Amino acid sequence: MLRAHNQERARVGAKPLQWDPNLAADAKQWADHLAKRGRMEHATYEQRKKAGENLWMGSAGYYSAETMIGGFIDEKKDFRPGKFPDVSRTGKWQDVAHYTQLIWHDTRQIGCAVSRDETNDFLVCRYFPVGNWIGQQIG
Protein backbone atom coordinates (compact mmCIF):
# COMPACT_ATOMS: atom_id res chain seq x y z
CA MET A 1 0.00 0.00 0.00
CA LEU A 2 2.83 2.36 0.86
CA ARG A 3 4.61 1.60 -2.42
CA ALA A 4 1.46 2.28 -4.46
CA HIS A 5 0.99 5.63 -2.72
CA ASN A 6 4.62 6.63 -3.12
CA GLN A 7 4.79 5.68 -6.79
CA GLU A 8 1.95 8.08 -7.56
CA ARG A 9 3.38 10.77 -5.30
CA ALA A 10 6.72 10.51 -7.11
CA ARG A 11 4.91 10.92 -10.42
CA VAL A 12 3.55 14.32 -9.30
CA GLY A 13 6.69 15.45 -7.47
CA ALA A 14 5.43 14.94 -3.90
CA LYS A 15 7.77 13.63 -1.20
CA PRO A 16 7.33 9.96 -0.25
CA LEU A 17 5.14 9.03 2.70
CA GLN A 18 6.47 7.15 5.71
CA TRP A 19 4.56 4.25 7.27
CA ASP A 20 3.23 5.06 10.74
CA PRO A 21 2.24 2.07 12.90
CA ASN A 22 -0.03 4.23 15.07
CA LEU A 23 -1.99 5.42 12.04
CA ALA A 24 -2.16 1.81 10.83
CA ALA A 25 -3.49 0.65 14.22
CA ASP A 26 -6.14 3.39 14.18
CA ALA A 27 -7.03 2.47 10.60
CA LYS A 28 -7.40 -1.19 11.64
CA GLN A 29 -9.79 -0.28 14.45
CA TRP A 30 -11.96 1.70 12.04
CA ALA A 31 -11.78 -1.00 9.36
CA ASP A 32 -12.98 -3.53 11.97
CA HIS A 33 -15.82 -1.15 12.87
CA LEU A 34 -16.86 -0.88 9.21
CA ALA A 35 -16.75 -4.65 8.74
CA LYS A 36 -18.97 -5.14 11.81
CA ARG A 37 -21.47 -2.59 10.48
CA GLY A 38 -21.21 -3.83 6.91
CA ARG A 39 -21.19 -0.35 5.42
CA MET A 40 -18.95 2.59 4.67
CA GLU A 41 -18.83 5.71 6.80
CA HIS A 42 -16.06 8.13 7.61
CA ALA A 43 -14.84 8.53 11.16
CA THR A 44 -15.24 12.01 12.58
CA TYR A 45 -12.24 14.32 12.54
CA GLU A 46 -11.87 13.78 16.29
CA GLN A 47 -12.15 9.98 15.98
CA ARG A 48 -9.39 10.13 13.36
CA LYS A 49 -7.22 12.21 15.70
CA LYS A 50 -7.16 14.94 13.04
CA ALA A 51 -5.79 12.61 10.36
CA GLY A 52 -7.07 12.42 6.80
CA GLU A 53 -8.96 9.32 5.76
CA ASN A 54 -9.61 7.42 2.55
CA LEU A 55 -12.04 4.50 2.48
CA TRP A 56 -12.58 1.74 -0.05
CA MET A 57 -14.90 -1.31 -0.15
CA GLY A 58 -15.04 -4.28 -2.52
CA SER A 59 -15.88 -7.97 -2.73
CA ALA A 60 -14.03 -9.98 -0.08
CA GLY A 61 -10.79 -11.57 -1.21
CA TYR A 62 -11.12 -10.37 -4.78
CA TYR A 63 -8.92 -7.25 -4.85
CA SER A 64 -5.19 -6.79 -4.22
CA ALA A 65 -3.88 -3.90 -2.13
CA GLU A 66 -2.58 -2.28 -5.32
CA THR A 67 -6.03 -2.48 -6.89
CA MET A 68 -7.63 -0.95 -3.80
CA ILE A 69 -5.18 1.98 -3.80
CA GLY A 70 -5.60 2.12 -7.58
CA GLY A 71 -9.21 3.07 -6.97
CA PHE A 72 -8.00 6.26 -5.31
CA ILE A 73 -5.43 6.89 -8.04
CA ASP A 74 -8.01 6.40 -10.81
CA GLU A 75 -9.62 9.67 -9.71
CA LYS A 76 -6.70 11.53 -11.32
CA LYS A 77 -8.59 11.37 -14.63
CA ASP A 78 -10.93 14.05 -13.23
CA PHE A 79 -8.25 16.00 -11.32
CA ARG A 80 -7.01 19.40 -12.38
CA PRO A 81 -4.41 21.42 -10.47
CA GLY A 82 -5.83 24.33 -8.54
CA LYS A 83 -6.86 25.60 -5.14
CA PHE A 84 -8.90 23.05 -3.24
CA PRO A 85 -11.87 22.49 -3.69
CA ASP A 86 -11.73 23.81 -7.29
CA VAL A 87 -9.68 20.82 -8.47
CA SER A 88 -12.10 18.64 -10.43
CA ARG A 89 -12.94 18.63 -14.11
CA THR A 90 -16.44 17.48 -13.12
CA GLY A 91 -17.01 20.48 -10.86
CA LYS A 92 -17.39 18.16 -7.83
CA TRP A 93 -14.37 18.02 -5.52
CA GLN A 94 -15.71 14.75 -4.10
CA ASP A 95 -14.84 13.09 -7.42
CA VAL A 96 -11.12 13.61 -6.72
CA ALA A 97 -10.89 13.87 -2.92
CA HIS A 98 -9.29 10.43 -2.43
CA TYR A 99 -6.67 11.29 -5.03
CA THR A 100 -5.93 14.77 -3.68
CA GLN A 101 -5.43 13.36 -0.17
CA LEU A 102 -3.09 10.72 -1.61
CA ILE A 103 -0.90 13.33 -3.37
CA TRP A 104 -1.29 16.19 -0.85
CA HIS A 105 2.20 17.72 -0.63
CA ASP A 106 2.13 18.43 3.13
CA THR A 107 1.11 14.89 4.11
CA ARG A 108 4.09 12.90 5.42
CA GLN A 109 2.75 9.76 7.13
CA ILE A 110 0.31 6.99 6.30
CA GLY A 111 -1.16 3.90 7.91
CA CYS A 112 -3.65 1.56 6.24
CA ALA A 113 -5.53 -1.60 7.19
CA VAL A 114 -8.09 -3.98 5.72
CA SER A 115 -10.88 -5.84 7.52
CA ARG A 116 -13.39 -8.28 6.07
CA ASP A 117 -16.98 -9.22 6.71
CA GLU A 118 -18.83 -12.08 5.00
CA THR A 119 -19.03 -10.27 1.67
CA ASN A 120 -16.67 -7.29 1.57
CA ASP A 121 -13.18 -6.05 2.31
CA PHE A 122 -12.97 -2.60 3.91
CA LEU A 123 -9.79 -0.58 3.42
CA VAL A 124 -9.04 2.39 5.64
CA CYS A 125 -6.02 4.63 5.05
CA ARG A 126 -5.14 7.39 7.48
CA TYR A 127 -2.92 10.34 6.50
CA PHE A 128 -1.05 12.88 8.61
CA PRO A 129 -1.02 15.78 8.39
CA VAL A 130 -4.47 15.83 6.83
CA GLY A 131 -4.88 17.19 3.30
CA ASN A 132 -7.73 18.70 1.30
CA TRP A 133 -7.57 22.13 2.95
CA ILE A 134 -9.86 24.72 1.39
CA GLY A 135 -7.94 27.44 -0.39
CA GLN A 136 -4.63 25.55 -0.62
CA GLN A 137 -2.97 24.78 -3.93
CA ILE A 138 -2.70 21.14 -5.06
CA GLY A 139 -1.03 19.86 -8.20
CA angle 122-138-18, nearest 5°?
A: 50
CA distance between the termini of the chain: 22
Q: How far apart are CA 26 and CA 22, in angstroms?
A: 6
pLDDT in tens, 37-62: 999 999 999 999 999 999 999 999 99
pTM of the model: 0.95
Question: Cis ω on the peptide bond leading into residue 85 (within 30° of 0)?
Answer: yes
Q: How far apart are CA 69 and CA 110, in angstroms?
A: 13
